[in-house]
Amino acid sequence: MKKSLSLVSMRRAAIAMPVTMLLACGGGGGGGGGDNSASTTPVDLTLAAAPAIAPANGTTGADYAPAVQFTASKALAAAGIKLVCDGVAVAGKTTVSGAVATFKPDAPGVAANAQCSASVDAAATKDAAGTVFTGSTALTSFTVKALACPGGSANTPPSFNGAALVAACGNVFVESAVAKNLWPVIVNGIQTALEMDRKVNGQLQSAQPDVLVCQSGTCADYFAGPRRRNVTLYPNTYAGQYVAPRMTVVLTSPTWTQNPYVLAHEFSHVEVAARTGGKHVPAWFDEGLATYIAGEPICTNVTGKGIDDLRKLDQETDWVAYTGPEDVFFKTYCQARAEVAAWIGKRGNAGVVQLLDAVRQGQSFAGQYGAMQLP
């Protein structure tokens, strides 16, 4: 009997064991069988205790394309920053790296002297757990720097059809339709272009020309003529209806001003005229040198000649007429660039300076240049 009772007891124990184990692991009921871990509340996502914010509040002279940055109280999965300048929201993109969020405006940025304020876009700012930003969203207020004019006399703005161009600064004049946030790009492009010309010519001898920037086709027609090409006008010359009183560069679209290479090309013509005292150099050399200095027009992937002999394009009027078709335009400009580049490869930048100086002194261009370098 003891043996039977023992077996029954063992079976009962085996049946009861899972219940005991469940109670030990389970969550229900009181006593020592429950989960003692404390429940946690997500930590708020706010600015860091000592937030690093840029530009600092009250900054004057911020960049024309200001990057706004803040540090959050913990790592971010996404963020948004709102930037408003002169009452207008600035388009841009916010990126995150750890707890740091950075907003960068889309080019070309904002206008000179603009009053700006930035704030956190709370709904768009989250951590990895999805906790959204809470607390004060105000970040910073600042002022964008003024335009640094490239030099030149502050001349009277020219007019067309009864409407005067607007002085962006100094002798840089823009059509009133050109957005103010493009003005810093125009002016900064001038500075960059001048540096490109100095790399070949050294200290420039030319005075800063007037720079006219058109937005509309009507403006381009008036100042640059029906071809609407970017053009350099010499004193008392014209391409459209405007007779330039002094050296003048006309840009027929503000989109070109985002690319200082176009300006460098035109400024090369201004420098050549100054160094030669206005004496004649072949159009193919003038245009080839400008294209060599500026890299504009772009010659990547341009193959083949535009003309059998560049020397046929001695006069500027012949050059302009011949390079009208787009395919001929690129091939001829790039052919001239290649010829001048080969010549400079042998003579160096100093050779350009010496050549132009010789022309100024009345010597023959052909005699100083010598044989053409490329077949």
Q: Each residue of 269-311: pLDDT tens digit? A: 999 999 999 999 999 999 999 999 999 999 999 999 999 999 9
- 147-267: what fold? Zincin-like (3.30.2010)
Give the model confidence (pLDDT) of 83-130 as tens digits: 999 999 999 999 999 999 999 998 788 999 999 999 999 999 999 999
User: Which residue ranges make up each domain of the chain?
Assistant: 59-144, 147-267, 279-375
**Are the C-beta atoms of 228 and 266 separated by less than 8 Å?**
no
Fold of 59-144: Immunoglobulin-like (2.60.40)
Asked whether this chain's domains 59-144 and 147-267 adopt the same fold, the reply is: no
Per-residue pLDDT, averaged over 49-56, amounts to 89
Asked if residues 149 and 110 have their Cβ atoms less than 8 Å apart, the reply is: no
Single pTM value for the model: 0.79
Report whether pLDDT(24) > 90. Answer: no
> Whole-angstrom Cα distance, residue 53 to residue 100?
10
